[in-house]
Amino acid sequence: MGTAESTVRDDDNRLFRGHSHILDDITHLRSKKIGKIERVADVVIWPGCHGDVVGISTTEHSVLKRYQFDFCSICDPNKLRMIARRLTTANENNRKSSGSIPLKRQELLKWHGWGYKDTKVIVTQRGKLFITSNRYPLVKISQVSLKVREWIQQVWGIDLYEVENIPEPPENPDISNFPDPFLESEFLDGLLTLQIVYSTDGEDRFFRSHGQAMSDIMNARRYQIARLPDLVVWPNSHEDVVKIVDLSNKCNIVIIPFGGGTNVTSAVTCNPNEIRMIVSLDTSQMNQILWLDKRNLTVCVQSGITGRDLEEQLFREGFTTGHDPDSLEFSSVGGWVSTRASGMKKNRYGNIEDLVVHIRFVTAVGVLEKESRGPRISCGIDFNQIILGSEGTLGVITEVCLKVRPLPQLQVYASFVFPDFETGVKFTHDVAMKNIQPASLRLMDNMQFRMGLIMKEEQTFIGEIVDKLKLTALRAIANINEDEMSFAVAVFEGFKDEVAINKVKIEKLVVKYGGVSAGAKNGERGYLLTSTIGYMRDICLNLGMLSDSFETSVPWDRVLQLCKNVKSVVAEESKEKGLKHLSVCCRVTQVYDTGACVYFYFAFNAAGVADALRVYEQIESRARDEAIACGGNISHHHGVGQKRRKWVPRQISPTAVGLYSAIKKTLDPNNVFAVQNIVLPAEITSSKL
Amino acid sequence: MSSNGSPSQIAEGTEQAEDRQKAANAAPQLQDVLRHTCPSPAGPRVLSTFRNILDRDSCDLVWVTKEWRPQQVTLHARTRTTAKIRQDVISSPKMQHTIEQQLSSQNEVPKEALWRELNDILIEMGHTQTMPVVRWFGYVLSKIMRKIYSGVFVNEESIARLRASIGNNPVIFMPSHRSYADFLLMSYVCFHYNIMLPVIAAGMDFVSMWGVGRLLRDSGAFFIRRSFGNDKLYWAAFSEYVQTLITAGENPIEFFVEGTRSRTAKSLCPKLGLLSVALEPYLTGQVSDIVVVPINISYDRTLEETLYSYELLGVPKPKESTSGLFKALNVLDEQYGRIHIDFTEPISVNKFFGDLRSPKLMRPLHLPHQITPDESTRIIWLANYVVRQQQKNAVISLFSLAAVVITHHVLTKPRNQLLNMHQLTRQVASLKSAAESFGALIDCRDNLEVSLQNALHIHKSLIVTSKDGQVQVKNVAAAQAPIDPAKMKGHSLQDKTLQVGVPMVMLQHYVNQTLHLFICPAIVSLSVQQSINQGSGMKDDVFARYLFLRTLLSHEFILHKAWETMDFEQSIQQLQKLGVLDESLHDSMKLSLGSNSHLHQILCQLLLPFLAGYSSACSTMLEVPAGKTVSLNEALKSTQARLEKLLLSAQLNHHYSLSLDLLTAAVNSLSSMGAVIKNKENGKVLYSPNSNRLRQVTQIVGDFLQLVAPICRKSQDEQARLFITQAKARL
C-alpha cells in the first residue's frame, strides 16, 4: 500500500466485510500519518449526512486529539464518509439483537405506520381484503359484503370495491432530507470509552423522532418533523444507563428514553428549540429476563423487553403476567410503567400499577428504588408512584419486577349482542355492581360493530343464508335490530369450574338485559381485530382518510351521556368544519367497579379538506373538552405526552403541577430529560414550589 | 337639578354600585362572547321572506293527514311513551335520592306516600302528545285561523336557518308570549314545516278547563303549577321532568321566558327559574350543547285586547273555564289581521357559556346542581338576550305607529283640533322612517295610505274614521255589572275613569308594541333635554341621567345592565341622524337638541305614563309612616287612588299610569334601587320606605316628570271630545 488514499481505494471492497478490517485499515492509514499509534480499536469517525466528515476522535485524547483533523485533511472526504457509514453499520450489525426488536428497527418495522413491515392490509378488486402475513390468522382474508360496501360508501365516501393500488409511502424514507446531527464531541468520547453502541444514521434518528399518533405518522410521512434526535444509543444494562445518564448530565446533553415507540401522545417528540444535543436512549437491547421466581410469583426483567418476548418466555415456564395491551408485540415493560398502561385482562390481573413490585429508576441525581421485595410496604409516601406515569421526564426505568401468575387452565372467548348501546352499558354496569367481571369485557357501539364487519371472512352461499336466518331470528325473537344493536366481547380465564360459574352468571345477566349470545369465535375475532386496528388505521391514511383514537375514563353515572355528547360534539364540529364523510364510534373497553374506560375512534375523509390534520386536531381537542366537561378525564391509559398537556393543570390542580415541577427540579436539575411531556415547560419555570 | 342628589348618585346605590361594578368588569368579556356567538344575519330583514302558511296548495284535510316524517331534534333520539317518561323520572337517581335520602328521612314521611305523591304529580304534569289529536286539532285550527286571520306569515329564511342548526343537540323554543294563541301557533308552524313538534310548558290554569286541558296535553303541553314555593318534591319532579326531556332530545322544548302572557304587549322581564332548570343538563355535562331559538310572534291585533285592558286596570280576570272560552268565541266574528312569526338566529348555549362550564365533576349526578354566581349572571344575560332577540325580530304593524300618533294627538292637542286621516298618514310616515332607522321591520305591503287604512279597519272596534276623514277613538268600556269591590285587584275606579281608561289602555297596548324601539332613544332625548336645561349638556352628565332613568325603568323594559353603554352610543347616533340631536357639533363631548323637535316631543311623551305612575308610587310610599309596612296590594290600591284623583283633577291625563303592571314594576324598581325595603314576614312580602333615598328618588323622578308633563297638559274634558261617547259596549 502506498499513500493513504490508495489504501482506501484498494480496500473499498474489503471495508464491507467487517469491523476489524476497517479498523485495521484505518490503523494502517493512521499509522502512516501519525506513525506511532498503537491502540486503534477506539478510533471512530463521525459522519455527517451530506458528504462531510464531522470529526474523528479516539478515547485517548492525549495521544490523538491533536491529529484528528489532520487525518481528515489527508483523506478524500467522500471516501471517508463511506468508511464512516460502513463503520457504523458494521458496528451495529456486529451486535445481533437478543430480543425480537433489532437495533435497526426499520428492518423489521414500518417507518410510515404501525407494525411489521411484512404486514399490511391490501384491498383487491371487489372488496377483498388481505393481510400480507400470517401473523393474524383469524382475520387474514376478508370480503367486504355488498351491504358493508354500501354503508362504507355512505359513511366515508369510499367505494371499497373500486379501490385498487392504493398509493403507499415508499418502503424506505427519503434520507436526503434529514438534517445533520448536532454532536457534542465530549459526549461521543464518553460513549466510546464506555463501549456503548450508538448511531448517528439519519434513518435511525428519524425512526425515533415520533410515536404512533396519527399526527406523528402523518408528519413523518411528510418529513415534517422539526427536530430529530442527534444520536441513538443502545445501552445493554442498568449500569450502561447509569453511565450514560451521568455522562449526559456532565456534558449537558438531552436524553429522550425510547421503548417500543408505540406511544400515541407525541411523547418522544423533540423540542425543536432545544439547542443542546438530543440523544434517543433506545432500551430495545435491554431485553433480558433477569430472573423468574416461581415460588414468589415474580419476574425481574430489563425494561426494554417487549410484551410479546416476555410472555413467550414466561409461557415456556408456565407463567404469565396477564398484562395484555393491544400494542403487546411492540411496547416495552418500561413504556408500560412510564405511561401507566392498562392491559385488556386487567379485571383478573390488574393494571400495570397493580403488577409492579419493584422498579429501578435512573435519574440524573442517582438511582431511585425501593429496597423491598415484600408484597406491600408502609414506609411513608410510595415513590413508585412518581415513576409510574413519569413519561420519560424524570429518568430512565431500567429494571422492573412484576407479578406473574401460573398460566390459566382455561381461556374462553364469548360474545353477546344487545338491543342497543344503552342496554349494553347497563349490562356492563350491572356486571361491575355484581363484581362478576370476566378477565376482560368490552362493549362496542353499533358503529364500531359495523366497522368490525369490514374484516369479515368471505361467506359461502350457505353461510350467507345462515347469517340472514340468524339476523331474522334476532329481530323476531330477541327484538334486536341490526342497525341499533351493540356488541360485547368477553374473555374468561381461570380453572375450569371457575370459568364455568363465571360464564353462567354473565349469561344470565345478558338475558336479563335482553341480550343474546353470539358465540366464541366472534369474541376471539373481536379481540384480534383490535390488535390489527393499527394496520387498518394505516390503510385508512393511504385511502385519504384521517383516523385516530382517544380514550377517557368516567364514572358509571356519566358513561352514556359522555358517549352521546362526545359523538354529538364531534358531529357538530365536523359539520361546522364542512366535513362530509366521517364516522365516530366508541366502545366501553374496561369495566371497573366505579366506572368505565371509553375508547373512541374518529375518522373522516380528508379529500378536499384544507389543512386536514389541523382540522382533525381541533375536533379531537373539542371532543376531549367535552369528555372532560361530561365527567371524563384526560386519559385512561394513553397518558399525557405533549398532546394533552393543556388539560393537566385543571385535571390535577395547580398545586399538583407545582409539586411535579419541584420533583422535576430536584431529580433533574440540569433538565437532562428534557422531553416536554405532562406539563408545559412554562408552567415548570413559573412554579414557585 | 335638585339639591338632594344627582341621578348618578342615586343610580349607584349602595348594593347596586357593587353589582354594577361587577357587571362593568364582566361586560367587555361578555360582549366578546356575544359578538362571537351571534353574528347578525346578513342584510336587513325584509317582508318578502315571509310566507303565508295558510295559503297552501293542498286543502286542509290533505294537509293534516300528510305523512308525518319530521326532522329529528337529535339523531337516534327515540320517542318515549308518557309512561316511559314517567318511569324515567321516577327511576332517575336524582328522584331516588330526593325521596329516599332527603324528604323521607328529614320529614319522617313514609317513602311509599312520597312515591305515590310523586306519581300523582307526574300524572298531573305529563304531556301525552298523540298525532291523531294533533291532526284533528290542526284541522280545526286551520278553519278558525282562516276565518279570523288574513294570514299567518312565517319567515322562511329563518326556518331554513333553524333546520340547518338542529339535528345534534336539544332545542329550546322561546317564543314571545302575547296571547293564548301562542301555544297553538308554534306547533302549527312546526307541523307545517315538518319539524318535530315541541313539548310545551304551560301553566296549570288550563288543566281545570274541561276538555281543553286534555286537548292541550294531547297536543304536547305539560303543566306546571304557577307557584310551588318550598315544595321540594314538586320542585324535584318538575326539574327532573324538564331535564329528561332535554337530555333525551326527542322533541324541542317550548316555554315562554317571560313566564306569562304580557298583558301590556311590552316584553316582560324574563323569568329565570325554568330556564335555569332547562340549562342544568348542559352545565353538569349531561348534554354537550343546547340550541336556544328565540321566536317572535307579532299580532296585528291581540285576541285578548279588551280583557287585558280591564285586567291592567284591576278589574278581575275571569277564571279560565270552558264556558268562558265559548263565550269568548264571539271573537271569531271579528278580524284580527296578520300574524308574523320569525325564528331568530339559534343561540348555541355552549358558545354562550363555554368559558364558564366547569361542572363540579366530583359531585355525583344525583345531587342537585348549585348554580354558581357566574353561571347565574350568565343565565340572566342569556334570558335578556333572548327577549331582545324576540324584540328585534318583531314585525311592527302600522296600527302601532298610528296608535303612537293618535295618543300623542289626544294628549297634546286642544279639543277643537281633531285628527284627520291626512295628518295621521303624514305623521305615521315620518314615524315609520324613524322606526326603520331604529331597525324596525314595518308591515307595510302596499302604499302607506292603503296599508294604514287596512290596518285601521282591523281595529275598527277601537278607532273609527268618519266619512270626512276624522279619526276618533271609540269608547269601548261597558257599563259593567257592578263589581264586587272585594274582587277588585286594585282600587275601585269610577265609571268615568274607566270609560276613558279602558280605550286608552287598549291604545297603549299597541303603543307598547313599538316601545322597545323607542325606549332608549326616548330616555336619551329626555336626559339631553334635562341636562341642557340644567346648563350642562355634557355627554357625561347626560349619561348619568340616562343611567338613572334606565335603572328606574329596568323592571319595565328590557334594559340589561351590560348593554347600557352600547345602547347609549347607538341611541345618540340614531338620534343625531334623525335630527333630534344636533349632529353638527364640534365638541364631541357636548350634546344639544336638533331641529326635529316633533319627534323629540313624541319620544318624551312616550315616557309620560311611566314617569307619572312611578312618581305617584313614590309619593304613596313616602306617606307610609316610618316603621310601618304595606303589602304590595295596599301600595297599588292607594297609588291607583292617588292617580285617579290626579286624572279627575286634570293634573294628569294619561290613564295608562293606572296600569297595575306598571305600578308593580314601579314598586319593584324602587325596591331594587334601595328606596323601599322589602321584608318577608310569615311568607308575606311587605314594603317599607327608606326615607332618605326614597325622597331623593322622588325628587329626581318629579324633575323628569316636570319636563314631560307640560307637553301634554290638557284637561280631561278637553280630551274627551275625541271619544265617541255613545259607542256600543263590547265586553
Locate the domains of chain B by residue range. Answer: 1-37+396-731, 82-301+336-393
User: Do B545 and B551 touch, CB atoms closer than 8 A?
Assistant: no
CA distance A484 to chain B (A): 9
User: Do A362 and A245 touch, CB atoms closer than 8 A?
Assistant: yes
- Whether A572 sits inside 8 A of B289 (CB atoms) is yes
User: Three-state SS for B314?
Assistant: coil
Nearest residue of B to residue A560 by CA position?
A: B286
User: Do B49 and B343 touch, CB atoms closer than 8 A?
Assistant: no
Residue B591 has pLDDT above 60, yes or no: yes
User: Do B656 and B556 touch, CB atoms closer than 8 A?
Assistant: no
Residues 362-381 on B with a CB inside 8 Å of A are 364-366
B356 touches chain A (CB under 8 A): no
Residue A55 has pLDDT above 50, yes or no: no
As annotated, the active-site residues of A are: 599
Residue B543 has pLDDT above 60, yes or no: yes
pLDDT in tens, A430-448: 999 999 999 999 999 999 9
Q: Cβ neighbours of residue A88 under 8 Å, at least 6 residues apart?
A: A47, A199, A200, A201
What proportion of chain A, given as a percentage, has pLDDT over 70?
85
Mutation choice for B interface testing from A445, A567, A572, A624 by most B CBs within 10 A: A572
One-letter amino acid at A612 equals A
Opening angle at CA B301, ends B297 and B305, nearest 5: 105
Residues 218-247 on B with a CB inside 8 Å of A are 247
- Mean pLDDT on B108-129: 89
CA distance A568 to chain B (A): 6
H helix or E strand, kind and range, residue B226:
none
User: Do A557 and A594 touch, CB atoms closer than 8 A?
Assistant: no
pLDDT band for B191, please (50, 70, 90 cuts). very high
Chain A partners of B364 at a C-beta cutoff of 8 Å?
555, 557
CA distance B247 to chain A (A): 8
Residue A514 has pLDDT above 50, yes or no: yes
E-only strand ranges, A115-194? 121-124, 128-131, 141-143
pLDDT in tens, A133-157: 888 877 778 888 888 888 889 999 9
In this structure, of B113-117, B169-173, B387-391, the range with the lowest mean pLDDT score is B113-117
H helix or E strand, kind and range, residue B540:
helix B539-552
pLDDT band for A613, please (50, 70, 90 cuts). very high
Task: Return the closest-CA partner of residue A622 out of A567, A677, A665, A581.
Answer: A567
Opening angle at CA A478, ends A475 and A480, nearest 5: 50
Chain B partners of A630 at a C-beta cutoff of 8 Å?
285-286, 288
Q: Cβ neighbours of residue A205 under 8 Å, at least 6 residues apart?
A: A178, A181, A199, A228, A229, A230, A231, A232, A280
B286 touches chain A (CB under 8 A): yes
In this structure, of A407-416, A454-463, A475-484, the range with the lowest mean pLDDT score is A454-463
Q: What is the pLDDT of residue A423?
A: 94
Torsion (CA) B220, B221, B222, B226 in degrees, nearest 10: 170
Cα(B286)–Cα(B298) distance, integer angstroms: 35
User: Do A231 and A183 touch, CB atoms closer than 8 A?
Assistant: yes
Nearest residue of B to residue A629 by CA position?
A: B285
Nearest residue of B to residue A556 by CA position?
A: B364
Residue B558 has pLDDT above 70, yes or no: yes
A631 touches chain B (CB under 8 A): yes
Q: Measured between alpha carbons, how far is residue B39 from residues A106, A574, B168, B345 in Å?
A: 53, 20, 21, 8
CA distance B248 to chain A (A): 10
pLDDT band for B361, please (50, 70, 90 cuts). low
What proportion of chain B, given as a percentage, has pLDDT over 90?
47
Q: What is the pLDDT of residue A142?
A: 82
Residue B724 has pLDDT above 80, yes or no: no
Q: Measured between alpha carbons, how far is residue B11 from residues B16, B81, B320, B504, B561 in Å?
A: 8, 53, 41, 32, 12
User: Do B125 and B238 touch, CB atoms closer than 8 A?
Assistant: yes
Residue B695 has pLDDT above 90, yes or no: yes
What proportion of chain B, given as a percentage, has pLDDT over 70?
85
User: Do A206 and A173 touch, CB atoms closer than 8 A?
Assistant: yes
Cell numbers given for A105: 428497527
Cell numbers given for A577: 368544519
Does A461 or B421 have the greater pLDDT score? B421
Q: What is the pLDDT of residue B387?
A: 95
pLDDT in tens, A56-97: 433 333 223 333 333 433 344 454 555 555 445 444 444 556
Cα(B620)–Cα(B694) distance, integer angstroms: 11
Q: What is the pLDDT of residue A78?
A: 52
In this structure, of A174-178, A629-633, A650-654, the range with the lowest mean pLDDT score is A174-178
* Best mean pLDDT range from A13-22, B69-78, B558-567: B558-567
Cα(A249)–Cα(B282) distance, integer angstroms: 51
Beta bridge partners of A301: A289, A400
Backbone φ and ψ for A63, nearest 5 degrees, come out as: -85, -45
Q: What is the pLDDT of residue A168?
A: 87
Q: Cβ neighbours of residue A452 under 8 Å, at least 6 residues apart?
A: A444, A487, A525, A526, A529
Q: What is the pLDDT of residue B508?
A: 94
pLDDT in tens, B640-682: 999 999 888 878 888 899 999 999 999 999 999 999 999 888 8
- Mean pLDDT on A638-658: 93
pLDDT in tens, B19-28: 444 444 444 4
Residue B708 has pLDDT above 50, yes or no: yes
Can you name the CATH fold of B82-301+336-393? Glycerol-3-phosphate (1)-acyltransferase (3.40.1130)
Chain B partners of A566 at a C-beta cutoff of 8 Å?
288
pLDDT in tens, A226-269: 999 999 999 999 999 999 999 999 999 999 999 999 999 999 99
Task: Return the closest-CA partner of residue A143 out of A158, A125, A159.
Answer: A125
B436 touches chain A (CB under 8 A): no
User: Do A22 and A90 touch, CB atoms closer than 8 A?
Assistant: yes
What proportion of chain A, given as a percentage, has pLDDT over 90?
60
The CB density around residue A460, as the number of other CB atoms within 10 Å, is 9
pLDDT band for B684, please (50, 70, 90 cuts). confident
Across chain A, what does the average pLDDT equal? 84
One-letter amino acid at A540 equals C
In this structure, of A266-270, A464-468, B220-224, the range with the lowest mean pLDDT score is A464-468
A557 touches chain B (CB under 8 A): yes
- Whether B168 sits inside 8 A of A568 (CB atoms) is yes
Beta bridge partners of A166: none
Comparing CB atoms, the residue among B247, B288, B365 nearest residue A626 is: B288
Edge-to-edge strand list for the sheet holding A298-302: A289-293, A298-302, A396-403, A356-363, A366-368
Chain A partners of B75 at a C-beta cutoff of 8 Å?
571
pLDDT in tens, A304-332: 999 999 999 999 999 999 999 999 999 99
User: Do B127 and B82 touch, CB atoms closer than 8 A?
Assistant: yes
Q: What is the pLDDT of residue B585?
A: 62
Cell numbers given for B170: 336539544
B359 touches chain A (CB under 8 A): yes
User: Do A414 and A308 touch, CB atoms closer than 8 A?
Assistant: no
pLDDT in tens, A531-584: 888 898 998 999 999 999 999 999 999 999 999 999 999 998 998 899 999 999
E-only strand ranges, A373-462? 396-403, 405-406, 410-418, 440-444
User: Do B258 and B205 touch, CB atoms closer than 8 A?
Assistant: no
A327 touches chain B (CB under 8 A): no
- Whether B365 sits inside 8 A of A568 (CB atoms) is no
- Whether B74 sits inside 8 A of A568 (CB atoms) is yes
User: Do B620 and B638 touch, CB atoms closer than 8 A?
Assistant: yes
pLDDT band for A347, please (50, 70, 90 cuts). very high
In this structure, of A489-493, B8-12, B512-516, the range with the lowest mean pLDDT score is B8-12
CA distance A679 to chain B (A): 21
Chain A partners of B361 at a C-beta cutoff of 8 Å?
628, 631
Mutation choice for A interface testing from B280, B288, B351, B358 by most A CBs within 10 A: B288
Cell numbers given for A121: 392490509
Q: What is the pLDDT of residue A454?
A: 80
Concatenated DSSP letters of A564-589: HHHHHHHHHHHHHTT--SEEEEEEEE
Cα(A486)–Cα(A510) distance, integer angstroms: 12
Backbone φ and ψ for B59, nearest 5 degrees, come out as: -75, 165
Residue B52 has pLDDT above 70, yes or no: yes
Nearest residue of A to residue B364 by CA position?
A: A557
CB pairs under 8 A between A and B: 48
CA distance A530 to chain B (A): 26
pLDDT band for A210, please (50, 70, 90 cuts). very high
pLDDT in tens, B479-501: 555 566 666 778 888 888 888 88
pLDDT in tens, B504-533: 899 999 999 999 999 999 999 999 999 999
The CB density around residue B457, as the number of other CB atoms within 10 Å, is 13
- Whether B359 sits inside 8 A of A631 (CB atoms) is yes
User: Do B158 and B342 touch, CB atoms closer than 8 A?
Assistant: yes
Task: Return the closest-CA partner of residue A202 out of A63, A64, A104.
Answer: A104
Q: What is the pLDDT of residue B723?
A: 47
